[in-house]
Amino acid sequence: MKKERLVESGKGSFFGGLSVRPGCARRSFLAEIENLPAKYFVGLALDEKAPDHSTLTVFRERLVQRGKLKVFEDLLEEVVQTAVRKGIQFGSIQIVDSAYSAGHVKIEKDERRQKKGKPQRDADAEWGVKHKRTVKSEEGQSLKQSKYFYGYKAHMGMNAQNKLITSLEMRGGGAYDGHHFCGLVKHDLEQGLPVATYAADKGYDSGDNHFYLELHGLHSAIRLKRARRHKKDANKEIWLDLEQTKTYQQGLKDGASR
């Protein structure tokens, strides 16, 4: 299979969610490659035989080994620039969020490996918090409970109008969301996207992120934490004023409807 077709297949399979597990990869790849638009995308003729699923898996693993996770970030940038050249319309509102992905590691087995002096199976995977919730104890008390996962986080910027992901940073599961906000915005600007407003949840509400947007002439629609809005000093006025702006309200509306 030609290198160019492998690259195109890599784009489609990665952004389409192809699993790296051998059994799942075979089923997903064969299902996708028999789809006519998928065949057209990778340059296969209608009667041309699809390669074995392992060809794409091996090719993708080599890419990751050479460039770590950055290779997928570069592939995404190529997809976005292709969309721009083809005339796909981008709106002015961007949504920043993250999504977790569990590592393909049997944790107990991997811990036994490490005790024997062997390296960690997935060196870049980390423990992270999947979500938090409030539960009631037997005594009726409200308790905070966290659910954890072991793997990765994809920090993403998405255009609210066309739903295309435009920026991506893949990191270990323990990465704090707010620390990746400015990097995603910077990457969008470097691509020349016509963005004006950034929407995000409370996890991104930090002074540094608001200041970065202001510094670059962009509007903030980062949902404000309650503590910021209920301060007992004059500084809260700037945040109360922000909440009343049309750009903030529209950004939150578009962010909630993604």
* 138 compared with 32, residue with greater pLDDT: 138
75 with 39, same domain: the answer is no
* 92 compared with 40, residue with greater pLDDT: 92
pLDDT in tens, 107-139: 788 788 788 888 777 777 788 887 778 878 778
Q: Of 67, 93, 117, which residue constitutes the final position of a domain?
A: 67
Whether 218 contacts 57, CB under 8 Å: no
157 with 239, same domain: the answer is yes
DSSP state of 24: H
* 53 compared with 151, residue with greater pLDDT: 151
4, burial (CB in 10 Å: exposed 0-12, middle 13-18, buried 19+): exposed
Whether the pLDDT of residue 29 is over 90: the answer is no
What's the CA gap between 200 and 25, in Å, rounded?
A: 33
166 with 206, same domain: the answer is yes
**What pLDDT is stored for residue 217 in this prediction?**
97
- Give me the half-sphere count of Cα atoms (radius 13 Å) on the Cβ side of residue 69: 13
**What pLDDT is stored for residue 28 in this prediction?**
47
Which string of b and e fits 214-234 if b means at least 16 CB within 10 Å?
Answer: eeeebbbbbbbeeebeeeeee
52-56, 87-91, 207-211, 253-257: which range is least confident on average?
Answer: 52-56
157 with 215, same domain: the answer is yes
35 with 78, same domain: the answer is no
What's the CA gap between 246 and 238, in Å, rounded?
A: 15
Q: What domain range includes position 179?
A: 68-256
Average pLDDT value for the chain: 79
What's the CA gap between 149 and 102, in Å, rounded?
A: 6
Number of structural domains found in the chain: 2
111 with 12, same domain: the answer is no
124 with 97, same domain: the answer is yes
Place of tokens 């470097």: 190
Banded model confidence at residue 64, pLDDT cuts 50, 70, 90: low
161 with 215, same domain: the answer is yes
**What pLDDT is stored for residue 15 in this prediction?**
44
75 with 59, same domain: the answer is no
Most confidently predicted of 52-56, 144-148, 218-222: 218-222
124 with 39, same domain: the answer is no
This prediction has a pTM of 0.71
Whether 193 contacts 160, CB under 8 Å: no
48 with 103, same domain: the answer is no
89 with 62, same domain: the answer is no
pLDDT in tens, 78-94: 889 999 999 999 999 99
Whether 3 contacts 56, CB under 8 Å: no
* 200 compared with 115, residue with greater pLDDT: 200
